[in-house]
Homo-oligomer: A and B are copies of this chain.
Amino acid sequence: MEDLTTIEQLLEQIKAQKPLIHHITNSVTINDCANITLAIGASPVMADEVEEAAEMTTHAQALVINIGTLSTRTIPAMIASGEKANQKGIPVIFDPVGVGATPFRMRVAKELLETLHFSVLRGNMSEIKALAGLETHAKGVDAGDDMDDAVSIAKQLAKRYDCIVAVTGKEDIVSDGIKVATIKAGHPLLAQVSGTGCMSNSLIASFAAVTSDSFSATIAGLYAMGRSGEIAFNNLREFEGAGTFHIRLLDAISLLSSNTLLEGGRIYVHS
């Protein structure tokens, strides 16, 4: 994965296989998640009613669970779909949005982590620290935190939950508990668009749907998002700000190819 060939190959597989990505996600960014899934070449379905959630998962090649606008109504659907995904052996991506902000989110996130097996756990530093039981000065869901301890916390949580852990921020850290990848890509404007984290989940799920290597899939998804942020910024005119950047991000994902990916060398894998 030091070079970008793996990402290109996985991208081709997504476009060839059009995997179905089942999302149980928040109402804020649900449209962006659907559109970015289509843009990368996969197929989205959103269904959060417990009466059908597990059934819908039977058709899917990956599942995303996101607690951004968590409601008691959808928790049973998350559990049912997650269990079905685990039975089928398809990857499940978990985004513990704002987990440090309320005891309710922490309780539900812990319940999900103990009941289900996730392939990938992705959050910002505050969320990952909160899950690790560390102090954090989170305020809501877009809060930052320094990335100093990111590597050790990511490794620790990856071992505890037997999954890939991704800590996203200015730089992204990905670990399987032993190996660690650092991804240096992106643009500060990504933090001015709501849902870039949620959209990253959809990308990771799309990549994870076509490979059993969740570590590479996570790197691929995060690199695709970061690189697209750079492309999006490069195409802005002077009167274009956060609104256009958001749209250009979807443009860049939909036009992602070996040409546009080829600015690489910024993924570092070590142990």
Q: Give A contacts to B, CB under 8 Å.
A: 20, 22, 26-32, 34-35, 38-39, 43-49, 51-52, 55-56, 59-60, 68-73, 98, 101-105, 139-143, 191-195, 231, 235, 239-244, 246-255
CB distance from A266 to the nearest CB of B (A): 21
- Beta-carbon contact of A102 and B195 below 8 Å: no
Question: Given A102-B52, A244-B247, is A46 in contact with B34 using a C-beta cutoff of 8 Å?
Answer: no
Give every chain B residue within 8 A of A44 (Cβ-Cβ): 140, 142, 194
State the CA gap A115–B73 with chains docked (Å).
26
- Beta-carbon contact of B43 and A71 below 8 Å: no
8 Å CB contact of A242 from B26, B69, B101, B250: B250
- Beta-carbon contact of B46 and A71 below 8 Å: no
State the CA gap A34–B28 with chains docked (Å).
7
CB distance from A46 to the nearest CB of B (A): 5
Interface centre among A104, A194, A243 (most CB of B within 10 A): A243
- Beta-carbon contact of A139 and B235 below 8 Å: no
- Beta-carbon contact of B239 and A250 below 8 Å: no
Copies in the complex: 3
- Beta-carbon contact of B241 and A254 below 8 Å: yes
Question: Given A20-B139, A32-B31, A242-B39, is A52 in contact with B247 using a C-beta cutoff of 8 Å?
Answer: no
A–B Cβ pairs within 8 angstroms, 30 of them: A20-B140, A35-B193, A35-B246, A38-B142, A38-B191, A38-B192, A38-B193, A39-B241, A43-B139, A43-B140, A43-B142, A44-B194, A45-B140, A47-B98, A47-B102, A48-B69, A49-B70, A51-B72, A52-B70, A55-B101, A59-B139, A60-B140, A239-B248, A241-B253, A241-B254, A241-B255, A242-B254, A243-B248, A243-B249, A243-B250
Give every chain B residue within 8 A of A141 (Cβ-Cβ): 45
Closest to A34 in B: B194
CB distance from A227 to the nearest CB of B (A): 14
- Beta-carbon contact of B101 and A31 below 8 Å: no
Give every chain B residue within 8 A of A38 (Cβ-Cβ): 142, 191-194, 242
Give every chain B residue within 8 A of A231 (Cβ-Cβ): 239
State the CA gap A22–B51 with chains docked (Å).
26
- Beta-carbon contact of B39 and A102 below 8 Å: no
Give every chain B residue within 8 A of A47 (Cβ-Cβ): 69-70, 98, 101-102
8 Å CB contact of A192 from B39, B45, B68: B39
